[in-house]
Structures are given as C-alpha cells and as structure tokens.
Amino acid sequence: MKKLIVLFTVLFTSIAAHCQILDTDEKIEILGLGSQSTAVINAAAEADYTLEELEQANEIKKAGLKDEVIVLVLKERARLSAEEIKKLKDYQDKNYSLSIITKSVQEKSKFSTPEKIVSQTSASNQQPQNNNSEKIKKFGIPIDPNTGKITFENYFEIKGITKDAFVKRASDWAKSTTKQWSAGKETESESPVNAKLWIDLPPQIITATGKNTKSTTLSFSAVIKCRDNQYSYRLTDFILEYKADGLLFSEKAEELKTIDPEKIYPLLSQKVNEAVQKIKDKMTAVNTSPNINW
C-alpha cells in the first residue's frame, strides 16, 4: 500500500510539474534547450504555457518543422502525437500552405486522411471570387482548378540531362530575367529555382473615370523544378499594379475591377507566353511526356 501511495505521489508530482504555468525565464530556459528561435520564444512569452506545451514545441522543432508551424501549434494549444507531428512535417515537405497546416491542426480528426484536408481546402479555394473566369478562358488563359488562379505550367523530359545541368540553365535564365530569384530547398531528387518577375504593360483606361493609368505592371512568381532527365515550370500569382491620379492600385489578375479585363487578358496571355518561350528556349527541352506524375 505504501509503495502504491509513493507511486501515485510521484505520478501526481510529475503531472503537476508538466501542467504548471511557467514564468518568462523558465520559458526561455526550456525553449533554449530546444534551440528555438527568437520568434518562437517571443510567441511563448505572450501567453501562459505549461512545461508540457513547451517540451512539445521542442519536439516539433527537432522534427524539422518551421517556426511558423511551431508558433501555430502553441497558439492553438494543440496536443499532437508523434505520428501527427510526422504528418505535419510531411505537409511542410510537400509545400502545403500554412492554411492547410492550420486546418489540419484545428481538425485533428482528419489527420488520418490528409488528402481530405487538402481536398477540402482546395475546394474552398475554388469558390468563385469574381465574374472574370469566362473572360479568362475566352483568351485561352489556363486556370488551376485547385487554386482558382491563373497558372501556366508544363512538364518536360530530355534524356541524358542531369538535374544539376537543368539547375544551371534555370539559374542562368533567372539571372538574365530578374534580380529577385533564389534556389529553393533542394532534395535528393529535385532542385527548384524560384523567381519573381515584372513585365511593363501599356497604359490602361480606368473603367470608372475613363482616365489613363500612368504605368501598368504585371508581376508573377515562377518556379522551375529540376530533376534528372526532367524539368517543369509553373507561373502563377499574377498581380496587376497601376498608378492613376497619384494613387497606386493593385489587383489580382483573376479579380480585375478597376481596368477592363477584356483589354488586359490578351496582353497577359501574349506577354506570359513570351516569357514561357524564353524559359523553354533556355532549358532547350522537347515535350515528350507532358503528363509526368510528380
């Protein structure tokens, strides 16, 4: 009986210690053991957290998850199993957005079917945001059904070209095209090159006032993914920016309201297809397998 009492006492003490609210110095000490960043430590300082929650934050850090995910789990006060942490890492490695990761943390019951979470999130993104979809399609501009965004993408295969050779070509293209580019996170089989591009367009007419814009710029992101014998490109996140009457307007290309979509979309199609051709010329690929499953 005495041994049982001692066991319960130890167990209760351990539980109490893990549930005890920590002061700032204690938080810093515990998170320091996990080599947490200043961003995570500052987030932990903003609310009351227990030893158990901070030790979990260190486990998440150890698993290789980013600061934004660690902060998310802290703020949601989520208790995650080792398997759930592993699945979050899988989401991150697959470049799922923070909104998808947030949804998976908030709806833990769906962790066992991550594809369902992604499907539901994608479905919500597909809800019509504007009346321009038909106009976009009218000019042969592709729309990603999963995001609802204008997206130009394709896959190519050239036998005998290594991943590193493709990366060199993609990097040379990026250097010659924009100052804002970088090499993405490399894996054993794949290396991406990321870039942000800007294209100047002719002045446009503001629909509401009939006045011309002083300048019109189309910006978008580009990713070229390189593998041995294969590469792909993806251009998306198109934004129109224009100045008029001393004001700067900025609109997503799918949601144009200030200027006439019927005049912008043909220009967008022309300019982006020209950019795509330059990528293809630089990579010197022949599309022999457009439906490679990446």
At 33-46, the pLDDT tens digits run 888 888 788 777 77
**pLDDT-flagged residues of the chain (< 50):** 4, 6-8, 10-18, 109-110, 112-129, 286-294
Structure tokens at 285: 């690929």
* pLDDT value of position 174: 93
Q: pLDDT, tens digit, for every residue of 64-112?
A: 888 888 888 888 787 888 888 888 887 777 666 666 677 677 665 445 4
* pLDDT value of position 2: 53
* pLDDT value of position 42: 76
pTM for this one?
Answer: 0.54
* pLDDT value of position 6: 45
Rounded (10°) angle between helices 67-76 and 38-45: 10
* pLDDT value of position 3: 52
Question: What contacts 19, CB < 8 A, 6 or more positions away?
Answer: 50, 51, 52
Domain with CATH 3.30.530.80 in the chain: 133-283
In this structure, which topology does domain 133-283 adopt according to CATH?
Answer: Alpha-D-Glucose-1,6-Bisphosphate; Chain A, domain 4 (3.30.530)
* pLDDT value of position 12: 44
> CA 210, CA 207: separation in Å to the nearest integer?
6
